[in-house]
Amino acid sequence: MKVRFAPSLLAADFLCLSDEIKKAEDAGADMLHYDVMDGVYVPNISFGFPILKQVSGASSLPLDVHMMTACPQNYLETLASCGASFVTVHVDVMPEDELARTLRTIRELGMKPGAALRPGNGAERIMPFIDLISLALVMTVEPGFGGQKFMPDMLPKIADVRAAIERENPACLLEVDGGLGPDTVRAAAEAGADTFVVGTAAFRAPDMKKALASMRAAAE
């Protein structure tokens, strides 16, 4: 199983963002993770779309956009115009029929749709959408804050989502986000994750290239 690492720009030095992007590329990142927070679905506010467009222009890496927002469906065309590669929305922000339409629209706009589970959402919430998505995201911390500790009680959920992916959509990526470092990456990989969002453990490491290599070895 190929593993992928997506350093989270939320942990980067915002005053030197272009340098931080270059550092992630040189360190062997597979994707860049970009958290959009609206202050409604989660308490904090993060980046907007103009910065996303600049990030897209500064890097050839796929942009993994995590919409921690109450109304992600309102911004899909904007996300496409800004260069998003993956767009992940939370399963609990709209009714199931509207979520299915949103995921289809993301794909129609040339992006890859993802569905996310926060810790309070059981694996069953993502099951109706497995065949519609390119990425399933299991949050291993509460969304909205960086630097939290990994929640090991999310590991059975990762395993349940992995089983569903293997049955119904083997090409779908299974991403985890929150509190990831060498030890927790190994546990998440053993549960079935193949894509890892790393923030503090990447951008705040003394040597990002060595840190990613260590975590990649742990996952593999």
Q: Is 167 left (phi over 0), alpha (psi -120 to 50) or beta?
A: alpha
Give which of 110, 70, 111 is closest to 87, Cα–Cα.
Answer: 111
Which candidate, 52, 72, 71, places its Cα nearest to that of 62?
52
Amino acid at 97: D
CA 38 from chain centre, in angstroms, equals: 16
For residues 118 and 114, what is the distance between their CA atoms, to the nearest angstrom? 13
CA–chain centroid gap for 150, Å, is: 15
Catalytic residue of the set 38, 160, 177, 194: 177
131 is catalytic: no
35 is catalytic: yes
List of E strands, the chain: 4-7, 32-37, 63-68, 86-90, 112-117, 135-139, 173-177, 195-198
Task: Kindly state the DSSP code that residue 8 receives in the 8-state scheme.
Answer: B
Backbone angles phi, psi at 4, to 5 degrees: -130, 145
Among all residues, which ones are annotated catalytic? Answer: 35, 177
